[in-house]
Chains A and B, each alone.
Chain A
Amino acid sequence: MRYVDEYRDAGKARALAASIASLCEPGRRYKFMEVCGGHTHTIYKHGLEDYLPENVTLVHGPGCPVCVIPMGRVDDAIHIASQPGVIMTSFGDMMRVPGGDGSFFDAKAAGADIRMVYSPLDALKIARQNPDRRVVFMAIGFETTAPSTAMTLMRAAATGQDNFSVFGNHVTIIPAIKAILDSPDLRLDGFIGPGHVSTVIGCRPYDFIAREYGKPLVVAGFEPLDILQSVHMLLTQLAEGRSEVENQYGRVVPWDGNLKALQVINETMELRPYFEWRGLGFISHSALRLRGSFAAHDAERIFQIPGSRVADPKACQCGEVLKGVLKPWECKVFGTACTPETPIGTCMVSSEGACAAYYNFGRFTRERVREATR
């Protein structure tokens, strides 16, 4: 298939892998964080680690939109969904995320009207089709999905769709990366930067990572060759003693981002003073809420929100996994108490979560696999 197979070419991968190996200084170990859950998914789905030398480790970062939603927000959403006349809508990934008292799927089985949509515009359509119901869209995601929420809000306001509201949970990527950089227990050599977020925010916001923290960052695409090439670019920078922001994903990411998209976000949303991230705790200025001018479509103002705070289960080490301090299998409950069927932590739910990706795709040791697939 065009525009897909070119980026999955095994021959090119072998050539890149050889070049990557030659760039590694003997005896030195390299640790790169892929910020984005989409990258984690690609790495496992295509078996990309088979191409990396032993001394290059990829560490999974916090950029999984579902993984960072705290349990209390899920409970709040289920509370809204249980109000009379409400239709709650959200993306498919959200359906299985456990709150303090069950997931959307459980609430749906108990009678709440919760529907999966593919775009916030679909939620708006449901509102138009059900004028006597109150339709709420649970908005999640980084700057990648915020523009589509923003456009939907603007359309709802313009068409006077008063029975439509948004329960906003959009988060921003930079504060999360900064929290990781400031965390003392992780030594990273560089970042594979988020691709789709950067289509919106561009590459400039990462400058401080290269300048102040001295870590190279390469904005990367989501095909396996994109990621291999980004590792190559990071190693080249290190070999040449540089730390810069580079853009591997130039076919999609403009250096300055998408000004129009940033403008619609800015028109409809503003930074919250602080927001709770699953596993990472409260991070200031790390999330968006609806502006006062969109109060009529703001579920947080329309409904009484309990503002649930649910402490993560003690056994769950999602926080350490999201920060890249622990590999998924190093978590105490990984694969035994916490599995995709019975997830304790969110990292086990989303297909982009590091734990789910490792459990579903990578649950074996490389030696035995090499033996089996020889």
Chain B
Amino acid sequence: MKDERLLIKEEQVLERIERARRRKARLREEAITLAHGSGGKASRTLVEAVFLEAFGNPVLAPLDDAARLSVDGANLAFTTDSYVVSPLFFPGGDIGDLAVNGTVNDLAVSGAEPLHLSAGFILEEGFAVDDLRRITASMRRAADAAGVTIVTGDTKVVERGKGDGCYINTAGVGVLRRPPTRDVRPGDAILVTGPIGEHGVTIMLARGELDIEADLPSDTAPLNGLLESLAPFAVRRMRDATRGGVATVLNEIATDHGLAVVVEEAAIPVRPVVRGACELLGIDPMYVACEGRAVVVVAGEDREGALAALRAHPLGADAAVIGQIKDDPPGLVLLKTAFGGTRIVDLLVGDPLPRIC
């Protein structure tokens, strides 16, 4: 075969690339760019090269959604997240319920029962008190729905022009009940708890820059109740698919465990309105943020049981098995396209950027 020599060379190049990718991340930029906040490769590099470098310790090292702590015999989960969203109010939610649900979900996917939250506000001079009341009311509703209480907080006000109306930071603690075992292995099944990309597309449309109108609410929701329904099953990993979307979570699973993730495009639930908007913009829903969806890895034999349990819960009615774990090629996410071909799904560098034509 004429191409055999070429194939060998291509394989060598690919191996060289994989080696380059395994090297420790180095931050090249001299200043922070927006890409560092996108949840993709640039964010990861920033976290590894600056924060892990400075704070590195065994509890932080797994870089999971929440830290697992053992305090006087009690096993706790502890997490924090900051919320900056424009617009502050959008169909299906606002920055307030986002700030509660996001932190509740970080605890829930760690296998913890969320208990208490803190809430820190950074408010811009001139921000309407009515809007602040709307936000706190919605936080209260979200906290009640998730069964948590907001027990401590802080307020700072910055000069006009130095903030975007309102930023919120929440931290949360919970009791670890059933932490995922993290022993992901070939043959495990991968599920998502519902249709993907809805929050991200809702926000893009709500910004009003696109002149596209669609009837689509954000998927923001607390996942603790839904994920508790997985108690009877061998849950290996859970992550909520926020910034960077499902693609980013799948990549983390592939790299963390040195295994291949193989998913079927046709099996991934995406509502037509999300698909349509993404087609128009030339972006891939796999990278679009969700605020009420988790990716779950369960033992292969629990695949149907876990799916049925998720679907029995109102928030999991459209849950689906989207793929499975394989051993080769390690560290890669492969997608069988609906068209019948195969490609990899990599981390994005920054935010998905719309294409020009």
Contacts and interface: CB of A to CB of B under 8 A. Distances in A.
A350 B282 CA distance: 12
A341 B48 CA distance: 15
Interface in A315-366: 329-330, 334-336, 339-342, 350-352, 359-365
Given A145-B357, A363-B14, A373-B334, A47 B341 contact: yes
A1 B31 contact: no
Given A1-B279, A106-B31, A336 B16 contact: yes
A269 to B, nearest CB: 17
Interface stretch (B147-155, B288-296, B347-355): B347-355
A291 interface: no
Contacts of B42: 341
B41 interface: yes
Given A105-B33, A341-B42, A372-B260, A13 B339 contact: yes
B13 interface: yes
Nearest to B263: A373
A141 B356 CA distance: 8
Contact of B355 (A106, A109, A341, A352): A352
Interface string A142-166: 1011000000000000000000000
A182 interface: no
B72 interface: no
Contacts of B272: 1
Most buried by B among A1, A14, A49: A1
B209 A47 contact: no
Interface in B301-357: 326, 328-329, 332, 334-344, 346, 348-350, 353-357
Contacts of B16: 335-336
Interface in A57-104: 65-66, 91-93, 95-96
Contact of A10 (B3, B11, B338, B355): B338
B11 A340 contact: no
Counting contact residues on chain A (CB < 8 A from B), the size range is 35 or more
A109 B32 contact: yes
B355 A92 contact: yes
A122 B338 CA distance: 35
B276 interface: yes
Contacts of A140: 356
B346 to A, nearest CB: 5
Given A8-B337, A49-B341, 15 more contacts: A1-B272, A4-B275, A38-B355, A45-B337, A50-B342, A54-B3, A93-B355, A95-B353, A106-B31, A108-B33, A334-B13, A341-B42, A341-B45, A351-B353, A369-B334
A365 B42 CA distance: 26
B357 A363 contact: no
Contacts of A65: 356-357
A361 B343 contact: yes
B215 interface: no
B71 interface: no
B17 interface: yes
Given A93-B353, A105-B34, A364-B329, A369 B342 contact: yes
14 contacts: A1-B272, A1-B276, A47-B340, A49-B341, A50-B341, A66-B356, A225-B339, A336-B17, A341-B41, A363-B346, A364-B332, A365-B10, A368-B329, A371-B328
Contacts of A105: 33-35, 350
B104 to A, nearest CB: 32
Interface in A27-57: 29, 38, 41, 44-51, 54
A303 B28 CA distance: 32
Interface residues of B, number: 55
A8 to B, nearest CB: 5
Given A360-B344, A372-B328, A8 B353 contact: no
A277 to B, nearest CB: 17
B74 interface: no
B352 to A, nearest CB: 9
Given A335-B16, A351-B282, A92 B339 contact: no
Contact of B344 (A49, A334, A336, A362): A362
Nearest to A359: B346
Contacts of B54: none
Interface string A110-149: 1000001010001000000000000000001110110000
Contact of B340 (A1, A50, A335, A342): A50
A360 B332 CA distance: 11
Given A109-B33, A371-B328, A224 B339 contact: yes
Nearest to A103: B33
Contact of A92 (B348, B349, B353): B353
B53 interface: no
B31 A51 contact: no
Nearest to A38: B357
A329 B13 contact: yes
B29 interface: yes
Given A51-B341, A106-B29, A369-B334, A335 B13 contact: yes
A78 to B, nearest CB: 14
Given A334-B13, A335-B20, A92 B45 contact: no
A196 interface: yes
A368 B328 contact: yes
B33 A106 contact: yes
Contacts of B31: 106, 109-110
Given A48-B341, A51-B341, A372-B328, A96 B349 contact: yes
Leading 10 A-B pairs by shortest Cβ distance: A47-B341, A92-B353, A335-B17, A10-B340, A361-B343, A46-B339, A91-B356, A50-B341, A109-B31, A47-B342
A372 B329 contact: yes
Nearest to A50: B341
A372 B344 CA distance: 12
